[in-house]
Amino acid sequence: MTVAAEVVQVLDKLGIKGVSRVRCKVIEGKDKDKILTRNVVGPIRKGDVILLKETAMDAEAKFAQR
């Protein structure tokens, strides 16, 4: 099940492949109002709504476990 989230901040661009790190706020579901950091491919800007596959773990936490 996908969950909608609104982009509240674009943090930085990662490389030349069009990947951006964004901070987004979940706007529906059981994790409503949770702030997450995600990597997004393609053009993105503040205020866009994206669909997340899961809300359990932040992108930064995934890199820290390696």
pLDDT tens sequence across 27-41: 998 889 999 999 999
Classify domain 3-64 by CATH number: 2.40.50.140
Give me the pLDDT at residue 58, please. 57
At 60, give phi and psi (nearest 5°). Answer: -65, -40
| pLDDT tens per residue, range 7-63 | 999 999 888 888 999 999 999 988 899 999 999 999 999 999 999 988 876 555 555
Give me the pLDDT at residue 62, please. 52
Give me the pLDDT at residue 54, please. 86
Sign of torsion over alpha carbons 16, 23, 6, 46: negative
The residue that leads in pLDDT, 42 or 66, is 42
Q: Where are the domains of the chain?
A: 3-64
